[in-house]
Amino acid sequence: MRLRAACLLAVLAASPARAETAAECAAFWQALAGVWRDYPGVWTAPGTALALVDDFRKLSGGAVAEDRIASYRLMHRYALSGDRQSADLQRRIGARCDALLPAPGTK
């Protein structure tokens, strides 16, 4: 399990940014929606995840960091299997993404 987490962290760290852009957040949620389709009933419903993809896509001017989807999907799968490092990383990225969204009722 530690080797998998280390490999995942290396893949995510190799990229210059870590879910600090709306395009990366769109990829984060798109990956989660994909995992949800494979494992229905866990975490966020795919409709909610896909709505967040749309929100972040709008924020980024239509971009999705396609090159990040596979590594985010892997992270979500590891978190689902109980890997604590992956789950912690998932929470931190999710929190950074949440911070990019405007507060409800504001534009």
Locate the domains of the chain by residue range: 2-100
Q: Which residues contact 69 (CB under 8 A, 6 or more apart)?
A: 27, 30, 31, 34
- The conformation of residue 16, written as its DSSP 8-state character, comes to S
pLDDT of residue 3 exceeding 60: no
pLDDT single digits (tens) 12-34: 554 444 456 899 999 999 998 88
Query: Are the C-beta atoms of residues 65 and 20 closer than 8 Å to each other?
Result: no
Q: What is the mean pLDDT of the chain?
A: 80
Share of the chain above pLDDT 70, in %: 76
Q: Which of 1 and 42 is assigned the larger pLDDT?
A: 42
Predicted TM-score (pTM) of the model is 0.75
- Looking at per-residue pLDDT, the higher value among 42 and 86 belongs to 86
Residue 69 binned pLDDT confidence (cut-offs 50, 70, 90): very high
